[in-house]
Structure 1
């Protein structure tokens, strides 16, 4: 398949992230969006709207929102777990059987995965630098599913502060808050197509409490940067309307990789080619010595003539600087001209079968 294809809107499924602190309305808002999505699909006659909604629940939030699904006449399937393995399976099951998947809270899955790994590896003083490569690799199994799955996914996560060091007027380093991020693997917050910060507010007299939703990221740009008070499904509809609902979802091709850069044993290709070139140059020297050995002027001239025919240069220094494909082609040319066959290397088999050994014994 060609690398580039005609551009289309290949985003057919909602990929939403909501983050906030305790009581900020993440679960409530996620539920409104989930119910609204199913009702919209039913209104448009999409078969997905007839499937149950799935809720993978780490903190019993599903118990409190079930009546709302009942009121909307929507079937709700729940899995109460904090297992990362279950999270991966939940995405797969929801893709096959569900209308929408709620994840609440993604932060628990990341924390439990890290804690279990530390326990298994006996990291009593905390995770080491080398541990993060494995953890991030495992976590990518979820983020790949999140982005590429043929499923509407609404992911809730706890908020955490970002910090950085700044130098004050006295030249001392001061640690200050610089922002808010989702408490999960560092790049998880980048995956949703729409990312919302939920916040709780209270009037000074204490008589009124309300929530706001600030859209930190909206790839459709329809509601990017906007803030909604006590948000409803309708507030997020401009982003949802941008989706190609009912169409084909074109995911990122995770099947394409960089295997061409590595040899079968994992050695970087450039390193393997450098070694192969060194061997080829040595073999070229030896085959020339085989056919034109000696130190006479005639022998030296004959070898230089063959080098010029193979590489358009009599300079060995220049030939050593040529790239691997050129050296390989030149070696094959010399083999054809001097040995009469294409270049090949087949390790000798010195192990003989018993009957072969007997055949070598004089009668």
Structure 2
């Protein structure tokens, strides 16, 4: 017997998420665009690629996309609010691939907007307790979990450290590494992180300029640490294949996360939370019965389809683990979904209240009464013939 709390190992996130970092002129934008084009061809997408352009430089990529016959939609902005809206549109299915160029400008604009809001010229220690969780909630978490392919670029900057000089006895600052100019953990959120670098030999007669890509992080481990000169999509294709192979629909094996907030609630609050949850479960059940009254056949399948569309699962056990607010939201969405599918409509009652009613025709293949003929068991049965009176008795 399998415990439904756990799930077997499987590819429940078959989407390519990558980041390219580098200094100006290192080729990160062009390489990211090449990968987007190759990925578009690999998945057979018929949708446009969406570019969130913070540098107003997407026009220089037009020949690359035109040659591949790919339509491109562009949003020129540095606002995190605009990026969040772009990601919402991606979730609605407007495109299969999002390219953000560059995330560094979005981060800088986010910090500036916060400083202006709190009327400060310099951020203080306590500000980061607001800034970092907000960035994680509005960008990092959706970027990782959203169901589409996404690539972002970021400007590189030097990391500095200090150590004591043995000769002078003084502490000296030195460059200790390279990092992306963005919130500390963001560059490592994707499945692949690439460092782009520009090299040149211009002092001799035979002048050369080229770019190199070094794979800093590769979750598949296939190409981790490798370097490619003037890279193209083909260099990264093994990672793409590893991320897209043998996908498993997430909702078929993963139960929604339980509400951790329950751990911090009092017993009284927990009881109230459960009552509210149970109420919405009953409301959902009643709404489903109004839309599709039957318990088998077509009506049962219709209910399962609605639950899957709204909650991403058909398991009432899994749905019962959701927060009451999520259930209330799902209740409203389920009704609207039924109307949009043409299986229900909203009518006005004599007292002015509005009610959702089913538009489904009678279910001739079983409507929940189990007789399979579309008639109710509550219909009046034929009366038995009267018993004839015995001879020798008088009728009263």
**RMSD between aligned residues:** 2.3
- The aligned runs of 1:1-363 (5 Å cut-off) are 2-42=4-44, 49-95=45-91, 96-124=93-121, 126-140=122-136, 141-169=138-166, 170-205=168-203, 207-244=207-244, 247-248=247-248, 250=250, 255-263=257-265
Cα deviation for residue 120 of structure 1 reads 1.5
Higher helix share: 1
Distance 1:26 1:249, change over 3 A: farther
In structure 1, what is the Cα distance between the partners aligned to 2:250 and 2:199? 39
Corresponding position of 2:350: none
In structure 1, what is the Cα distance between the partners aligned to 2:126 and 2:225? 38
Unaligned runs of 5+ in 1: 43-48, 270-363
Give the TM-score of the pair, scaled to structure 2: 0.62
Distance 1:253 1:187, change over 3 A: farther
The secondary structure found in structure 2 opposite 1:215 is strand
User: Residue 79 of structure 2 contacts residue 110 of structure 2 at CA under 8 Å; is this kept in 1?
Assistant: yes
In structure 2, what is the Cα distance between the partners aligned to 1:72 and 1:62? 15
Cα deviation for residue 257 of structure 1 reads 4.9
In structure 2, what is the Cα distance between the partners aligned to 1:68 and 1:83? 26
In structure 1, what is the Cα distance between the partners aligned to 2:185 and 2:86? 21
Corresponding position of 2:374: none
The secondary structure found in structure 1 opposite 2:70 is coil
Cα deviation for residue 135 of structure 1 reads 1.0
Cα deviation for residue 116 of structure 1 reads 1.1
Aligned residues: 260
Distance 1:134 1:55, change over 3 A: same
The secondary structure found in structure 2 opposite 1:69 is helix
Report which of the two structures shows the higher radius of gyration computed on alpha carbons.
1
Cα deviation for residue 255 of structure 1 reads 4.5
Distance 1:28 1:112, change over 3 A: same
Distance 1:227 1:2, change over 3 A: same
User: Residue 15 of structure 1 contacts residue 194 of structure 1 at CA under 8 Å; is this kept in 2?
Assistant: yes
